[in-house]
Chains A and B, each alone.
Chain A
């Protein structure tokens, strides 16, 4: 089955700096890659996603890049703000005929220091 690795597990940045979180996946058939943000005690919320027919997608301060050859994708947050502090999860789906099942990474705890 699919395996998703996520790094780093924790990331601390100063307000205004950029943050980058990286994920790799194992199943070359995967074709959908969402990112979720989970604040403490809250539900995971979809913040951005990318499908395998594009290499990059941007939404204001958030961007995601995808390299299908290398089987990795990354989340980029620019001009970080304290409210960006949360756990971020990457996920992949579409591999092995399971086009519905999301396989998640273990998460990155992002702390933005004011």
Chain B
């Protein structure tokens, strides 16, 4: 079946603008995760959803970052008033059981 998809694949925005990143998980996967990967770095956990609720938002770097999930499926990560240090690849993953996460292709965000 279809894997995790993300859109857009690339986003260039000016400093101070808001951006929305979208994730479509694998159908039937109840858990959804957002990660951030900076150049040459590992994956940094941002937020976890189980269904539509987010029991763990501990990785969100500031209150400019927020995320929601509707219908137990699509999730949107919003970054307000973007800063240059927000430039990174934002990866979404989903799973139907503990641990086995399957990643999307990511959104490369560049803040100029």
Residues of A within 8 A of B (CB): 32, 34, 36, 42-46, 49, 51, 89, 91, 93-94, 98-107
Please tell me if the beta carbons of A104 and B99 are within 8 angstroms of each other in the complex. no
Would you call A106 and B98 a contact (CB within 8 A)?
no
- Interface centre among B4, B43, B91, by most chain A C-beta atoms within 10 angstroms, is B43
Given contacts A42-B105, A101-B48, A101-B56, whether A89 and B100 have CB atoms under 8 Å apart is no
Q: How far is the CB of B103 from chain A (nearest CB, A)?
A: 4
Contact indicator A49/B42 (Cβ below 8 Å): no
Q: Are A94 and B105 interface neighbours, CB within 8 A?
A: no
Q: Residues of B contacting A36 with CB < 8 Å? A: 103
Question: Which residue in chain A gives the minimum CB-CB distance to B106?
Answer: A43
Contact of B101 among A46, A99, A106 (CB under 8 A): A46
Q: Are A45 and B45 in contact (CB under 8 A)?
A: no
Contact present for B91 and A43 (CB under 8 Å): yes
Query: A103, B99: Cβ atoms under 8 Å?
Result: no
Given A98-B56, A100-B98, A104-B42, does the pair A43, B104 have CB atoms closer than 8 Å?
yes
Known: A100-B31, A106-B41. A49 touches B105 (CB 8 A): no
